[in-house]
Amino acid sequence: MANANGKSATGFPEKISEKANPEANEATEIAGNIIYHAKYSPHFSPLKFGPEQALYATAESLRDRLIQLWNETYLHFNKVDPKQTYYLSMEYLQGRALTNAIGNLDLQGPYADALRKLGYELEEIAEQEKDAALGNGGLGRLASCFLDSMATLNLPAWGYGLRYRHGLFKQLITKKGQEEVAEDWLEKFSPWEIVRHDVVFPVRFFGNVQINPDGSRKWVGGDVVQALAYDVPIPGYKTKNTISLRLWEAKARAEDLDLFQFNEGEYELAAQLHSRAQQICTVLYPGDATESGKLLRLKQQFFLCSASLQDIISRFNERSTSEGSRKWSEFPSKVAVQMNDTHPTLAIPELMRLLLDDNGLGWDEAWDVTSRTVAYTNHTVLPEALEKWSQSLMWKLLPRHMEIIEEIDKRFVQTICTTRVDLEDKLSTLSILDNNPQKPVVRMANLCVVSSHTVNGVAQLHSDILKAELFADYVSIWPNKFQNKTNGITPRRWLRFCSPELSDIITKWLKTDKWITDLDLLTGLRQFADNEELQSEWASAKAANKQRLAQYIERVTGVSINPNSLFDIQVKRIHEYKRQLMNILGVIYRFKKLKEMKPEERKKTAPRTVMIGGKAFATYTNAKRIVKLVNDVGDVVNSDPEVNEYLKVVFVPNYNVTVAEMLIPGSELSQHISTAGMEASGTSNMKFALNGCLIIGTLDGANVEIREEIGEENFFLFGATADQVPRLRKEREDGLFKPDPRFEEAKQFAKSGVFGSYDYGPLLDSLEGNTGYGRGDYFLVGYDFASYMDAQAKVDEAYKDRKRWLKMSIMSTAGSGKFSSDRTIAQYAKEIWNIEACPVP
């Protein structure tokens, strides 16, 4: 029975009949499908259809469509039997899925109309979704952009990761600075994932190696946990192809609960395997300062590798059964495994173990299969990030794998001794095992380089440094093993969906929307960069994004910011090499100078709002001090009536993909100011540039290529170059560094107590002295400060010239075509994986 406003007793419009309809394209049909899920896939009490209930019902209506496309994709892959890529990554930073899926399926209009019929705006419902907490920084976001491009390019590919229940952490900002609490994205459930109860594999830890009478070896005993698969659909843009991100959850079996002990009251002892299994996927990157923390991280890495490889082999064997026996030598022509950084390195000895022990291959054949299957992407030249695991820990947790690693190392060393006598004296650094009696370790990057058919860096400068320095001797052994694959970002999430106004303007002026999948077409904007009509439209799109961002900042921080000021943003992991400390010291200097000016002088300055965001690792003390300093400076600056019209400072809390989708479209200047040679690539620089935001930066990572593409006149460059850094560090050690007076002034002002009583001595001491642990300004903040402040003065001048700034902004977007992840993935597919598109007809 309908009430007076035409709604049924359950609150849904009477005119719309509930009906399951995965193929719904039209608003009324979609609304009927949403109502169907609200009623018959219920997760909440009946008679309730608030925004949260609407989110889950909407997501499930969309999931119907995705499952249908997904099934068609995998039936097609099964029929064609192409070579497939399996991408192994410890993290994926997916962001919200609802608006992305609706956009990729080209259903924005119908879904918006359907929800209006049900009394809601699409934006309001999308706001209810929590970001999937499966990653932390650029490494995880890159993996997610890659999945989007793999699906869009119709490539036969899978992503593999872990299903972290509580992510890295949710960042709270209090008077003490950063505090960490557990992420709650799975507190209710994720509407996107589908548990595969039939896809379960055993994963063993500890135990020992049993030698059989025939000489074969088998890993036995220890703890065995179960890896259960959860699949998340990844739709391509305007294509039927929908691929999968398979996430593993660790569980113990019912029989692993000791009922006798439980009934004796020894509850924790009775369920200890259940408890140990649950720890594996509790958080991303558990603290590793303790032995138990290191053990848990190693367990996570092995759990991902073992479950994924068992799954891959099982799929290969299924085809063997259906087509008669398939030879193992064919495995590399059907399977490509890509290791995203060193975290999945254990895929190498685990694939060897599965081939040797479970499938009976000899060493030479197993090694041939493995080394033709796996490839490795290096993401860092920072020594602390090149993983090294204690040999004793490895022997304890993975005894069979240590035997295999020893054998790989022994054979590699023999090869060098027989074929490259000139490198014998380098074996102490080239070998996989570092047998230093004080601290014997396994060098994971070395294991990757020795075992992989291809090794790639992620920006031209980074790849050049890898070849010339970090892996130079390996290059002399295998000159064709090393490649560059400059990173990219998906233009769907990072322009089309997060800045629809700017996207529409681009489409209007290019007279096509094909740029969304062919980003090189953006160069067509260059011819209009001086056009006053385009500049006017561009400015109004930017203004709308800035207004939206200003409202968001006030909502989450309580700070009111001026939308007409220059929005200057630095968002990324807080790390000393990324030099957020340089940024805030620059702000402190600016504040001091503004305080010293007369009121009429201040009126001539370009007003600026500086926003900094990012998470500091819970145990990284100096990074957390930087977060505290930014907040303390903000508290003082923002409440100073003389200055706060011309300068505001905001720390944006809990930076994640959704926050980035708000910040990046509203940005006008972004800071990518790492010490040259230390940032492998960076990808946020690409997102900002694509959105017409100008960059102030060093010649580091992908900044080098961005500057080449957009034109050096549209990039605010400063700082030492990568090849100068070693000499400058040496000069600092020798006491030859002469600091710029502005640098000394900023430091003294920071120490003066103006920003509160917190002792910043230990943080600022890292910039003092010439040598010593945590001293001597290793990241060259002092050396680069002068040219940084000079570049900032150029920014102020350029911003005052509105026409010039708008032209630079348009040229930035116009030159960003190279930085599409579609280009990157097409290169991986052709030059590393040797796979081809397999579009669903």
pLDDT tens profile 307-322: 999 999 999 998 765 5
Is residue 490 helix, strand or coil? coil
CA angle 658, 659, 664 (to 5 degrees): 105
Q: What is the mean pLDDT of residues 412-436?
A: 96
Would you place residue 323 in the very low, low, confident or very high pLDDT band (cuts 50, 70, 90)? low
pLDDT value of residue 1: 34
Greatest CA separation found in the chain? 92
Residues known to be catalytic: 379, 572-573, 578, 683, 687
Tokens of 461: 């400068």
CA distances from 115 to 97, 112, 132, 197, 526 (A): 17, 5, 23, 33, 39
Rounded Cα distance, 784 and 678, in Å = 14
pLDDT tens profile 618-652: 999 999 999 999 999 999 999 999 999 999 999 99
CA distances from 249 to 76, 202, 307 (A): 28, 12, 10
CA distances from 81 to 73, 84, 355, 512 (A): 12, 8, 22, 35
Rounded Cα distance, 720 and 697, in Å = 11
pLDDT at 281 over 60: yes
pLDDT at 4 over 80: no
In this structure, what are the phi and psi dihedrals at residue 514, rounded to the nearest 5 degrees? Answer: -65, -15
Is there a common fold for 82-95+131-316+331-487+826-832 and 500-819? yes
Mean pLDDT rounded to a whole number for the chain? 95
pLDDT tens profile 261-271: 999 999 999 99
Q: What is the mean pLDDT of residues 601-619?
A: 96
pLDDT value of residue 5: 45
pLDDT tens profile 781-819: 999 999 999 999 999 999 999 999 999 999 999 999 999
pLDDT at 204 over 60: yes
pLDDT tens profile 571-591: 999 999 999 999 999 999 999
**Sequence-separated (6 or more) residues with CB below 8 Å from residue 632:** 755, 756, 758
pLDDT value of residue 42: 79
Is residue 171 helix, strand or coil? strand
Across-strand partners of 568? 610, 669
What's the distance, CA 27 to chain centroid? 35
Say which DSSP state 820 is in: B
Would you place residue 463 in the very low, low, confident or very high pLDDT band (cuts 50, 70, 90)? very high
pLDDT at 156 over 60: yes
pLDDT tens profile 731-751: 999 999 999 999 999 999 999
Each domain of the chain, given as residue ranges in start order, spans 12-81+99-130, 82-95+131-316+331-487+826-832, 500-819
pLDDT tens profile 213-255: 998 999 999 999 999 999 999 999 999 999 999 999 999 999 9
pLDDT tens profile 71-92: 999 999 999 999 999 999 999 9
Amino acid present at 343: H
Report which secondary-structure segment, H or E, holds 162: strand 157-162
Is residue 208 helix, strand or coil? strand
User: Cβ atoms within 10 A of the Cβ of 44, count?
Assistant: 14
Tokens of 138: 């650029």
**423 contacts 472 by C-beta, under 8 angstroms:** no
pLDDT value of residue 501: 97
Rounded Cα distance, 62 and 72, in Å = 16
Q: At the fourth CATH level, which superfamily is domain 82-95+131-316+331-487+826-832?
A: Glycogen Phosphorylase B; (3.40.50.2000)
Rounded Cα distance, 455 and 735, in Å = 39
Would you place residue 192 in the very low, low, confident or very high pLDDT band (cuts 50, 70, 90)? very high
Is residue 467 helix, strand or coil? helix
**629 contacts 635 by C-beta, under 8 angstroms:** no
What's the distance, CA 734 to chain centroid? 39
CA distances from 369 to 347, 351, 411 (A): 13, 9, 16
pLDDT at 62 over 60: yes
pLDDT at 35 over 50: yes
**Sequence-separated (6 or more) residues with CB below 8 Å from residue 553:** 559, 561, 611, 650, 652
pTM of the predicted structure, to 2 decimals: 0.96
pLDDT value of residue 321: 56
pLDDT value of residue 410: 98
Domain 500-819: give its CATH code: 3.40.50.2000
**Sequence-separated (6 or more) residues with CB below 8 Å from residue 214:** none
pLDDT at 9 over 60: no
**839 contacts 241 by C-beta, under 8 angstroms:** yes
